[in-house]
Copies of this chain bind each other. A is one copy, B any other.
Amino acid sequence: MISNIESTVVSTRIRLARNLADYSFPSVLHSAKQAKEIVRAVYDAASGARAFKLYHMGDLSDNVAQALCDDHLISAELAANKKYGAALIDESGGDMQEGKFSIMINEEDHLREQYIADGLCLPRAYGLLAAFDGELSRQLRFAFDAQLGYLTACPTNLGTGLRASVMLFLPALTRLRKMERVVREISRLGHTVRGVYGEGSAAEGFMYQISNEVTLGVTEEYILSEVQRAALELVSLESQARKSLREEDETGVRDECMRDYGILRYCAKISFEEFLQRLSGVKLGAALGFIRVRDFRALDALAARARPANVGLLSDGALTAPERDVLRAELCRRELAENTEG
């Protein structure tokens, strides 16, 4: 049986906003020479610590840019900044269980350092990113004020520059229409909850992200423990909601989950939207014990691989949407046949 935490928490993300003391903030930086200097300086400093690959936004194909956005490794804003924007992506090849480092350069701040990994691992994730940040700080002079802390382009990031996020899969709370109340209560605690790809609806896989609002006047440890507490509260609420869902109409829920599973096991083509919706049913079915899954995490990895941009990367040539739908169905059939038992 999969634990509630494993079947609810998808991943943890830590982000640190940093700026270089010797340059203007990106929004007021109008010199290509300076922008290049920043990219070079960050790249040199980061490469000392890990093997990064440098991506210039101006050089990226739309498909690769989209794939990096979908993976939360760059933002849409950075991708749009084709003139000065760049990103360093950890290419040490580890999977998401090991986690992945990245740095956006010349986004809203000079640096947005990030570490993302599977599961609930806020202290570990912060520890790793903080150590990495420490190494960078030995070679880069960060804009820092003794009283305010790290200086950032937007005051909402001032101080620690830390945003700690946890991605959660909340199908039962969503289906029982309890999310609105939950979001209200969580925001009262100083956190935000929002859909990872939009509204968090069925079509988006019932995925939500909780993260801290406040970055100033609190310690990093306080932020981490508060986000962790709220995330665990959400896990517990979701687990109660799953129990209610099951008690209300076990056959109905089982039927829905198993039909989603049957379709993903055998379909010959499928759009990403439908895939995401049906995969949510499979994940819920696995969480409720209807479907045996060898590796629950692999279902989220499959969701990532099935995204349009990632499916697009499976072929050398440009693929049409119908061609992607066929490849996605193939991927899906194979993975589920290997990883699950209905």
Contact = CB atoms under 8 A, between A and B. Distances in A.
Interface residues of A, number: 19
Contacts of A262: 259, 261-267
A292 interface: no
Copies in the complex: 2
A91 to B, nearest CB: 36
Given A251-B326, A326-B251, A263 B265 contact: no
Interface string A263-284: 1111111000000000000000
A259 B266 contact: yes
A259 B263 contact: yes
A258 interface: yes
A269 B252 CA distance: 8
A1 to B, nearest CB: 19
A263 B255 CA distance: 9
A342 interface: yes
Main SS at interface, chain A: helix
Contact of A266 (B252, B269, B329, B342): B342
Nearest to A337: B342
A208 to B, nearest CB: 28
A263 B259 CA distance: 5
A112 interface: no
A15 interface: no
Nearest to A257: B268
Nearest to A256: B268
A251 to B, nearest CB: 6
B263 A268 contact: no
Contacts of A255: 267-269, 329
B267 A265 contact: no
A13 interface: no
Contacts of A259: 262-263, 266-267
A264 B268 CA distance: 16
A293 to B, nearest CB: 14
Nearest to A250: B268
Contacts of A307: none
Interface centre among A261, A264, A268 (most CB of B within 10 A): A268
A342 B268 contact: no
A265 B268 contact: no
Contacts of A342: 265-266
Contacts of A258: 266-268
Given A251-B269, A251-B326, 7 more contacts: A255-B268, A255-B269, A259-B262, A261-B262, A262-B263, A262-B265, A262-B267
Interface of A: 251-252, 254-255, 258-259, 261-269, 322, 326, 329, 342
15 contacts: A254-B268, A255-B267, A258-B268, A259-B262, A259-B266, A259-B267, A261-B262, A262-B263, A262-B264, A262-B266, A263-B263, A265-B265, A265-B266, A265-B342, A266-B342
The 5 closest A-B CB pairs, nearest first, are A262-B262, A262-B266, A255-B268, A258-B266, A254-B268
